[in-house]
C-alpha cells in the first residue's frame, strides 16, 4: 500500500522575547484554535510558528498510522513525496521553512548571508551561525504590518542628517559630506559613500551613542509635550524603539532604512527589521541571521556592514507583488526570484461549496488562517478536519478538496517549491 501523502501537522512555537504575549499573539490564537487542548500562557511570548523540518523546529505528524513521527524523519524515508525536481535539486530535503510571526517589540537590525558567506560563517562560528545554508526570505502581511526594508534614497538620508544633529554627529562630518556630494555622482560612488556612513554609525563608541540618543530622545520628548508631533524625523517611532532597546545604536537605523507599512496581502522580499505586528513568512530552510542592533543576541557589526547591498531605492520599490492565477480566481502566487520557495494565497468566498487545492510537482505545507473545512484526497479514505490554525502537509502530485463546514470565507496560505 502506498504511503499516506497528506496529513495534518503539529508545529513548533518559538517563544522569542520580541513576540506578542499570550492570547494577544496571532501565533497563540492560531495554536489555540487548531488544538482545543493547547494551553496558552498569558505571561509568555508567542513569537513564531515554524512549519517545516528545520532541526530547531521539526513538525510532528498528527496521524497515528504514520511512523516515524516528525516530518523531517518521514521525508527522509519517503523522498519521492518532495517531487522529482525538488528531491534532486535539494538532496532529498524540504527546501523551505514556513512561518507565522507575531511581533510586539522590534526585531533586530539584521541581514541574512548568501550561500558562500553562510558556509564560511558556519565554519568559523557555528555557535552563532547554526547551519551552512543561505536564507532568502519573503514576508506577507496578515495585518497592517510595519517594517524597515532596504536603504532609502540618499536624498532622504541627507535630509535626516540636516534635521537630526545627533545622527550627523555619529556619522561624522567627513562621511556626511561625502554622502551629500555623491548624489550627483555615479551609483558606485554613492554606494561607497553610503557604506562609509552606515559603517561609521554602526561602529560608533557605545558611550557616545548613548549620549547622542539621550539628547535626541530628550529633544523629541520636549517637542512632543509642547504639541509638536516630530513626524518629519519619526519622533514617535524613535521614542518607541528607545523604550524597547534603551541606548541601542539600532534606533538610528530608521534614518537609513525605508519605513514600510504593508496592507494585508502585501509582501516584501529581503527585510532589515520588522516592527509590528503579524505576517506569514517563508524562507530557505535556515536559521542564519547576522545582527547589528535592537537585540540582546550576538552582534556581528563588521560582517553586517561588509555584506549589505548599498543600493538605495524608494520604499515602494521594495514591495513584492503577487500574480493572479489565470485558472483560479481565488489564487494569488508570490513567486520570488529564488529557487527555494513560492507562496500561494487562496481567498475563497464562503459561498463556494468545495475548493480544490491543485496538485503540484512539489511537496507543500498548507496553513488555514481563516475558515473551517474537511480535507479529502483521491488516495485516502478518511477525511481530515481542518480549522483556523490547522496545518496540512501535501505530498507532490496530490490534490486536496476542501469542503467548508461553516459558511465563511476561507483564507489559506500554501508554501511550496516551483522549479
Catalytic residue set: 291
User: Concatenated DSSP letters for 357-408?
Assistant: E---SS-EEEEEEE--EEEE-TT-SS-EEE-TT-EEEE-TT--EEEEESSSS
Q: Which residues contact 324 (CB under 8 A, 6 or more apart)?
A: 331, 332, 333
Q: Using CA of residue 91, residue 271, residue 277, residue 324, what is the dihedral sign?
A: negative
Instruction: Give the three-state DSSP class for 111.
Output: strand
Kindly list the distances between the CA atom of residue 152 and the CA atoms of 155, 274, 401, in Å, as whole numbers in the listed order: 8, 16, 45
341: nearest Cα among 133, 45, 66? 133
Region of residue 123 (phi > 0: left; psi between -120 and 50: alpha; otherwise: beta): alpha
Q: Which residue has the cell 560582517?
A: 303
Of the candidates 253, 179, 254, 166, the residue with the CA atom closest to the CA atom of residue 211: 166
What is the rounded CA–CA span in Å between residue 20 and residue 258? 24
Q: Is 207 exposed, middle or buried (0-12, 13-18, 19+ CB in 10 A)?
A: exposed
DSSP class of residue 318?
A: G
Within 8 A by CB and 6+ apart from 6, the residues are 375, 377, 379, 380, 384, 392, 393, 394, 395, 398, 400
Q: How much is the CA Rg of the chain, to the nearest whole Å?
A: 23
Output the nine-digit C-alpha cell for 249: 545604536
Amino acid at each position: 500500500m502506498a504511503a499516506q501523502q497528506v496529513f495534518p501537522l503539529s508545529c513548533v512555537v518559538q517563544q522569542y522575547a520580541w513576540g506578542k504575549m499570550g492570547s494577544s499573539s496571532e501565533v497563540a490564537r492560531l495554536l489555540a484554535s487548531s488544538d482545543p487542548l493547547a494551553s496558552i500562557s498569558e505571561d509568555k511570548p508567542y513569537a513564531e510558528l515554524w512549519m517545516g523540518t528545520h532541526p530547531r523546529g521539526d513538525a510532528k505528524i498528527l496521524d497515528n498510522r504514520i511512523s516515524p513521527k516528525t516530518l523531517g524523519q518521514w521525508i527522509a524515508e519517503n523522498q519521492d513525496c518532495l517531487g522529482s525536481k525538488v528531491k534532486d535539486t535539494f538532496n532529498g530535503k524540504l527546501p523551505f521553512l514556513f512561518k507565522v510571526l507575531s511581533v510586539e517589540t522590534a526585531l533586530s537590525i539584521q541581514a541574512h548571508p548568501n550561500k558562500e558567506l553562510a558556509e564560511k560563517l558556519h565554519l568559523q562560528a557555528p555557535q552563532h551561525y547554526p547551519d551552512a545554508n543561505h536564507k532568502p526570505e519573503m514576508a506577507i502581511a496578515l495585518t497592517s504590518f510595519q517594517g524597515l526594508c532596504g536603504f532609502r534614497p540618499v536624498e532622504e538620508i541627507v535630509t535626516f542628517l540636516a534635521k537630526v544633529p545627533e545622527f550627523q554627529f555619529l556619522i561624522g562630518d567627513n562621511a556626511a559630506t561625502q554622502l551629500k556630494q555623491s548624489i550627483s555622482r555615479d551609483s558606485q560612488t554613492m554606494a561607497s559613500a553610503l557604506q562609509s556612513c552606515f559603517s561609521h554609525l554602526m561602529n560608533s563608541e557605545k558611550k557616545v551613542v548613548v549620549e547622542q540618543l539621550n539628547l535626541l530622545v530628550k529633544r523629541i520628548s520636549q517637542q512632543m509635550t509642547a504639541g509638536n508631533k516630530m513626524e518629519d524625523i519619526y519622533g514617535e517611532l524613535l521614542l518607541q524603539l528607545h523604550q524597547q532597546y534603551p541606548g541601542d545604536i539600532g534606533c538610528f537605523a530608521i534614518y537609513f532604512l525605508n519605513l514600510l507599512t504593508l496592507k494585508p496581502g502585501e509582501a516584501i522580499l529581503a527585510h532589515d527589521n520588522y516592527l509590528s505586528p503579524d505576517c506569514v513568512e517563508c524562507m530557505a530552510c535556515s536559521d542564519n541571521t547576522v545582527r547589528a542592533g535592537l537585540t540582546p543576541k550576538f552582534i556581528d557589526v563588521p560582517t553586517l556592514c561588509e555584506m549589505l547591498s548599498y543600493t538605495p531605492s524608494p520604499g515602494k520599490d521594495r514591495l513584492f507583488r503577487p500574480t493572479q492565477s489565470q485558472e483560479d480566481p481565488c489564487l494569488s502566487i508570490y513567486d520570488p526570484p529564488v529557487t527555494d520557495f513560492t507562496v500561494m494565497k487562496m481567498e475563497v468566498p464562503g459561498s463556494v461549496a468545495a475548493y480544490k487545492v491543485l496538485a503540484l510537482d512539489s511537496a507543500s505545507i498548507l496553513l488555514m488562517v481563516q475558515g473551517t473545512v474537511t480535507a479529502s484526497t483521491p488516495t485516502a479514505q478518511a477525511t481530515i478536519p481542518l480549522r483556523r490554525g490547522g496545518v496540512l502537509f501535501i505530498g507532490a502530485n496530490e490534490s486536496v478538496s476542501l469542503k467548508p463546514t461553516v459558511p465563511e470565507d476561507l483564507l489559506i496560505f500554501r508554501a511550496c517549491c516551483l522549479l
